[in-house]
Amino acid sequence: MTPVIDLLPPHRKDLGGGLVVRRLLPAPARQAVGPFVFFDHFGPLVTRPGDNHDVRPHPHIGLATVTYLFAGAVMHRDSLGSAQRIEPGAINWMNAGRGIVHSERTPEDLRGTAYTAHGLQLWAALPRDCEDSDPAFTHTPAAAIPEFDVAGAKVRVLVGAAFGRRSPVQTFADTLYLDVDAAAQSELALPAAEDRPRQERAVYSVDRPLRIGGVEVPAHTLAVLAPGAAARIAAPAGARYVVVGGEPLDGHRVIWWNFVASSRERIEAAKDAWRQQRMGAVPGEQEFIPLP
- The domain spanning residue 73 has which CATH number? 2.60.120.10
In a domain, 289, yes or no: no
pTM of the model: 0.97
156 conformational bin, left if phi > 0, alpha if psi -120 to 50, beta if neither: beta
Task: State mean pLDDT over 137-144.
Answer: 98
- Are 203 and 228 within 8 A, CB to CB? no
- Are 34 and 259 within 8 A, CB to CB? no
Q: Which residues pair with 225 in a beta bridge?
A: 4
Percentage above 90 pLDDT, the chain: 93
Q: Indicate the pLDDT class of residue 33, thresholds 50, 70 and 90.
A: very high
Q: Does residue 195 carry a pLDDT above 90?
A: no
Q: Indicate the pLDDT class of residue 52, thresholds 50, 70 and 90.
A: confident
Q: Which residues constitute the domain of residue 134?
A: 4-275
Q: Does residue 223 carry a pLDDT above 80?
A: yes
In a domain, 68, yes or no: yes
Q: Indicate the pLDDT class of residue 16, thresholds 50, 70 and 90.
A: confident
Query: How many domains, in total, are found in the chain?
Result: 1
Q: Does residue 13 carry a pLDDT above 80?
A: yes
- Are 58 and 288 within 8 A, CB to CB? yes
Task: State mean pLDDT over 117-129.
Answer: 98
Laid out side by side, the sheet with 200-205 consists of: 4-8, 222-225, 200-205, 239-246, 175-182, 153-159, 147-150
Q: How far apart are CA 290 and CA 292, in angstroms?
A: 6
Q: Does residue 68 carry a pLDDT above 90?
A: yes
User: Tell me, what's the pLDDT at 125?
Assistant: 98
In a domain, 163, yes or no: yes
In a domain, 287, yes or no: no
